[in-house]
A and B are shown apart, each in its own frame.
Chain A
Amino acid sequence: MRDTSRPLPFAKGARAVFELSLEGMVWTRRTLLMGLLVGFPVLAAAGYRVWLAARPAVPLPPAADLYAVAVAIYWIRNVLPLAALFFATALVADEVEGRTLTYLLTRPLTRPSIFAGKFAAYLVTTLSLALPSTVATFFVLLSARGWDAVGPAVGDLFRDLGVIALALVAYGAFFALLGVLLKRPVIPGLLFLYGWELLANLPGYLPRFTLTAWLRSLVHHRPAEEGLAGLFQQVLPAGPGLVVLVTVSALFLAAAAWIFSSREYVLEQ
């Protein structure tokens, strides 16, 4: 018999919260919207193939370049941070807004296990949207002119999958921290994405203070760009990049879990 006066062990509690949160996260309008946004390159790639088959004589941009744009600019720079913002800031905020947090906190669960379960559900949901889209886009685009181009580029696909997962972890950790720290985290999150993260386009050491510069440096795709980004583009070293991203993700998660554990939530009546 379990001692009911004591909370469930961390792993068991986190798993229970994960299963509960996953049910509430996968089939939602938010996920549908994000699924359309994240999966858009698959539709664009299918359109590209149809166009290529229908009008082979019309010059189209190279499929490999389109894939590079999808990974480096569309997903890593824009859509995945946005998906992380909308999912991760809502991990606790949704429970507060729906006034259901009390039900969760009164269960025999430790607060860190609640946070860990919710973050794991976020990660599984977003990875389930992003990784299949990347794989499908890769194969649809790269096989456009025969399978010869697929083999040599497979290394990039594996790398891209890893970097996309890391992007969801890093941005998710940061926005989860914002979510437990602030009452309305979306506007500050958008300011972070479209204000602070633009430092990545500046010369010198400033890009090192952004998540996007480290993430962009990890992928091999360098689509042609104009403006500041094209002029000062610098690639940060991959090894330190991995260390930085893993470290800041761990720090953000630890801080978020600590704040969530120690904060007193007073729900508005």
Chain B
Amino acid sequence: MTRSRLAVLVSMIVVVLGVFAGLGALWLSPARAAVGPMPGEALVLPADARFVMGFDVKRFTASPFYARYAAQRGMKPEALRELEEKTGLDPARDIDQIVVAGTGPGSIGVALVTGRFDLYKLGRALETEGKVNGYNHAGASLYAFKDEGPNATAMALLDEGSLLFGQKDRVEAAVASRTRGETPFKTNAALIGLVGKVRPGSTFWMVGDQSLLAGMPTSVPAPGASADGASVSLPSLKSLTVTGDLDPQVSLNVVGVAADDAAARNLADVVRGFVALMSLQAQQKPELRQLASAVTVATEQNRVLVSARLPYELLDALQPKAKPAGEPTRKP
């Protein structure tokens, strides 16, 4: 074999090994799930959901975001400690993922929580609080909270790895579906299609269809508008997909599908206007200089793609400055 052929062969071996390693990593990836990033258990969520969102608690608690802002962003570690004491549940330790299916205004929807749960301790903690009625429904322990009303809530302990929380009648329906081996969420073709396009492995993600977005405002105040009330009308969106990560920086990707190409371009121009305004303001503050290149806006046919990459230094710069300890507070 000549040197040339050997060189070509070696490079092809590297590529083939890489492809196999990639396939192996894909197959063994912990982020692999039933549909996109959605675990198989979440397919019992209601079929009439208008949006679905996921939150990877493990990635969140391992992120620099949690380390930096856990104490100051209202995450209330003391409340979490109390929750752990009462139920034995430590969200940071025991919960892996939360998937919420929302059914629109006035409804709290249903959340599926996956992780590792001590069912006995959890059930006993709920009952000793005296705020729940425990009963068995379709083979699962269900705890209905006593504040009965149109939005009465309940929690179902499905197994050591998953529990459901949300509107009582919807939780009961989801438990019954699970017992029957049904997957109602799969019948929601629009949302399933959108979830399938979300890349697994994001810290948080959300998809919403047209019915959810119909309630969005149709206009926003124009950038730099004064009291004259000038506003910019927003083209309606057919669907919205948001994905984000927190490590090693806060990154956010938003994909909005507009009615047509022209509407997508209009919407992209509106977003660009706001980004330009932010950049102008940022020029007055050197610490915010990165803001100008942090957000990119692009269009792809009838889709608007907004991508934001915010380093933690930039987020720190955006925080309101803390007053020096000795400075007296002014009273009006």
Contacts and interface: CB of A to CB of B under 8 A. Distances in A.
Interface of A: 22-23, 25-27, 59-60, 62, 65, 124-125, 127-129, 131-132, 135-136, 138-139, 145, 147-155, 157-158, 161, 217, 222, 224-226, 230-231, 233-237
Interface string B285-301: 00000001111111111
Contacts of B29: 148, 150-152, 154
Interface in B29-43: 29-32
Contact of B305 (A22, A222, A225): A222
B199 A230 contact: no
Contacts of A131: 11, 14-15
Interface in B292-332: 292-301, 303, 305, 307, 309, 311-313
Contact of A26 (B7, B199, B309): B7
Given A222-B298, A224-B293, A234-B299, A62 B22 contact: no
B75 interface: no
B260 to A, nearest CB: 13
Contacts of B15: 131-132, 135, 161
B12 interface: yes
Contact of B300 (A60, A62, A154, A217): A217
Contact of A222 (B21, B28, B307): B307
User: What size tier do the contact residues of chain B reach?
Assistant: 35 or more
B141 to A, nearest CB: 33
A65 B299 CA distance: 20
A206 B29 CA distance: 41
B4 to A, nearest CB: 4
B313 A151 contact: no
A149 B4 contact: no
A169 B29 CA distance: 33
B201 A234 contact: no
Contact of B247 (A59, A138, A145): A145
Contact of B23 (A25, A154, A237): A154
Contacts of B11: 127-129, 131-132
Contacts of B249: 62
Interface string B95-138: 00000000000000000000000000000000000000000000
A128 B15 CA distance: 9
Given A148-B31, A151-B200, A234-B298, 13 more contacts: A22-B8, A23-B4, A124-B8, A127-B11, A131-B15, A132-B18, A150-B29, A155-B26, A217-B300, A224-B309, A226-B292, A233-B296, A235-B298
B226 interface: no
A132 B292 CA distance: 35
